[in-house]
Amino acid sequence: MNQNVKHSPQRLHEFLRQEQEAILEDWRALGKRRINASRDLSDELQRNRVPELLESIAASAEKVSTSTYPAKLPGKWPKHHAEQRWELGFTLEETTREYGLLRMAIFKRLIPQIETMPTEEVGFLNEALDEAIVEAVNNYVAKANRRLASERERLDVTLQSIGDGVVSTGPDGIINYINPAAQSILSCSLEEALGQPVNSVMVTLDETTRERLKCAALCATENGQITHRGPDILLQRADGKLIPAEETAAPLRDARGEFIGAVTTFRDISKERSLRQRLGYLSAYDALTGLPNRALFVDRLYKTLVKAEHDELGVAVLHLDLDQFKDANDTLGRSGGDNLLKKVGKRLASCIDRSDTVSHVGSDEFILFLSDVEHKDYVSGLCDKLQERIGHPFKIRGQDVHISVSIGISTYPDDGLDPNALLKHAETATKQAKAEGRNIGKFFTAQLNQQAEERRHLRAELKKAVAADQLALYFQPQICLSSGKAEGAEALLRWEHPELGQVSPGRFIPVAEQHGELMLEIGDWVLKEACRQARAWDDAGHAPLRISVNVSLVQLRHDTLVSRIEELLSLYQLRPAQLQLELTESLLMTDIAGATDRVRALKALGVGVSVDDFGTGYSSLSYLQELPVDELKIDQSFLRGITSNQEKAAIVKAIISLGESLPLRILAEGVEDRHTADFLRGIGCESAQGFLYSKAIAPELFEAQYLASQ
């Protein structure tokens, strides 16, 4: 065979068209390995305008071979490609590196026959690729300059309009900028502040000792680190008034790292303190009687049960229902009935020790607990005393009002080991007391618990439900009040039993919670099904939707919760932000130490955390600082009659203000009418869910109504 046979010459345009797909495939593989921004792109997005670029080079090269005109360098397609890369978040380095990899892929195929190709065409190829890089650089520089100008304008408008004070200083500590909010907070004018030492304008005092402190700006200047002061400091205004405040200062450096001054942001927290105190009281105490509400009662009872378990002592829970209150309320009118309830609350409180608690939990219902109970005789004696005190006539508007009270009693540990069980059993006993003639006290017994057999049956059937495919997730939309569109969905469990029919969650969830392993199994099924459904909607081409899933105390306490969620997110290839866990306020407070660790671990994954039933009451809101939550769900009890009830409106406004200051997303649940929705939108509430928009519906119907349309 003749070794000197030469390949027939191949022109550049022929080579590029013949090898285009092979070049693109080599380039795609190189980009996936070497450019981070390319790894998650689809093949179509990664290719973008590169095929057109190669064809334009081939077309220009072909014209060169048949005429004397100079080759036209490609400009259109590199520009389009660079613009798309900018929008996808590619850096300039990543975009230009793509062209380097494209050159590598082309010459990998070209080298075996490069000697047969005209030198001027190889030169043109290099020049065309260089021009593409120049076009990309020009595009990025232009866009960066436009963004910088826009950001400067936005920053100026922001600093002029925000509520926080902003003061900047030079390296000598002299003020060179102060925004309007800072002037208002410090009660000084622009002329009075500019050019002055920052320590003379921002006079900072220790709130406890009233000693003068070095302001945060000077601290940041001296130590070169971000400095935070508050909330235990006071700022002295120009008029001498002291205001509680928080301030944070950070050193400023130029592009070379040289120190050029400091910027301080600060705010007056007077209103925030007042709102927190107000909200703390309203959320923990009944507005009518001043007694602890149910949430605070449960919290105190839980702590008492922990102590009782340690000391091996008994606890008694009493549920009281006023027998003739409706008749008295109809006779006296609303204000007279309210006055009667206040007097009843005072009499009940006077009958118990300071270590015990009485709470008003409903129109004519009160609950109380007794600690350190050794004998039931003591409880019986107190029950008689309570009925005697309530039996004495009440003087309302000059007339005697006679009522009586039926009392149900449950005891720890015989009738339950947790607050919910004890309260439920005490209420069951109250119903029996009323059935037997009223104005009597009744201890809970096994015979009174007519639902015990049903619970046992439900537990057995519930164990079969998961395997038998009887459980389903329905979804209730969470609506953005400003746009009217669904921004999330709450996953709600439904059980369709072949014989019992639709079983209410209110019946079977408490049964599951009393049996830890069963609750864990069901909770895991709910989490998995929610993730599976989210994946299905993503695959159908819908925009990612945040799905909220309720988590029980049993799940929160379990060591595997965080790792299991991480496993499910990976299995269904979901972004963590697509999943949000709902934890009730009382649940968080029941196990605050354990909850803190779990919630922080979940946040580290990027999973959202929502506080459900917020506002139903707890005496301290400090847990909002300890737990990195994303959302507060205003309990639906505050929405009933909110447009006409100033007390409820005040609570909801306080919660919204609290959310803005922390900052947290605020969602109102249980919205049932347009007036309530309009009212919430008017006071700044972000989102809502409730029957006004939809009840919980099957995923297929949810997709058709809320995803396909968006």
Span 344-401, pLDDT tens digits:
888 888 888 877 888 888 778 898 888 888 778 888 888 888 888 888 888 887 788 8
Q: Are residues 310 and 243 in the same domain?
A: no
| Non-local CB neighbours of 207 within 8 Å, separated by 6+ positions | 232, 233, 234, 244
Q: Are residues 232 and 198 in the same domain?
A: yes
Q: Are residues 76 and 120 in the same domain?
A: yes
- Alpha helix (H) residue ranges in 549-684: 553-557, 561-571, 585-590, 592-605, 623-626, 646-661, 674-682
Residues 616/293, Cβ–Cβ less than 8 Å: yes
Token pair, residue 135, equals 């076009």
Q: Are residues 383 and 417 in the same domain?
A: yes
> Which long-range contacts (C-beta less than 8 Å, at least 24 apart) are formed by 99-108?
99/129, 99/132, 99/133, 99/136, 101/27, 101/30, 101/31, 101/34, 101/35, 102/23, 102/27, 102/50, 102/129, 103/129, 104/30, 105/23, 105/24, 105/26, 105/27, 105/30, 106/16, 106/23, 108/26
> What DSSP string runs through 271-284?
HHHHHHHHHHHHHH
Question: How many helical (H) and strand (E) elements, i.e. helices and strands, does the chain have?
Answer: 26, 23
Q: Which of 106, 123, 157 is the last residue of a domain?
A: 157
Reported pTM: 0.44
Q: Are residues 205 and 148 in the same domain?
A: no
3-state SS assignment for residue 399: strand
* Residue 700 C-beta-side C-alpha neighbours within 13 Å: 1
- Domain range enclosing 332: 280-450
3-state SS assignment for residue 234: strand
In the DSSP assignment, the letter for residue 578 is G
Phi (first) and psi of residue 406, to 5 degrees: -100, 135
Answer whether residue 275 is part of any domain.
no
Q: Residue 669's pLDDT band (boundaries 50, 70, 90)? A: very high
| Cα–Cα dist 446/416, whole Å | 12
The CATH number of the domain holding residue 149 is 1.10.490
Which range among 111-115, 280-284, 408-412, 609-613 shows the weakest confidence by mean pLDDT?
Answer: 280-284
Q: Are residues 467 and 436 in the same domain?
A: no
> CA triplet 340, 345, 348: central angle to 5 degrees?
125
**Nearest alpha carbon to residue 452 among 416, 504, 418:** 416
Q: Are residues 58 and 148 in the same domain?
A: yes
| Non-local CB neighbours of 685 within 8 Å, separated by 6+ positions | 481, 634, 652, 656, 666, 667, 668
Q: Are residues 262 and 287 in the same domain?
A: no
Query: Can you give the pLDDT at residue 681?
Result: 94
Span 292-306, pLDDT tens digits:
888 888 888 888 888
Mean pLDDT for 540-552 is 93
Q: Is the model's pLDDT at 419 over the cut of 80? A: yes
The CATH number of the domain holding residue 488 is 3.20.20.450
Q: Are residues 405 and 369 in the same domain?
A: yes
**% residues pLDDT > 90 (the chain):** 21
Q: Are residues 309 and 188 in the same domain?
A: no
Token pair, residue 314, equals 């008994």
Q: Which of 157, 192, 212 is the last residue of a domain?
A: 157
Span 311-320, pLDDT tens digits:
778 888 999 9
Residues 425/418, Cβ–Cβ less than 8 Å: no
Q: Which residues pair with 234 in a beta bridge?
A: 205, 244
Query: Can you give the pLDDT at residue 3?
Result: 44
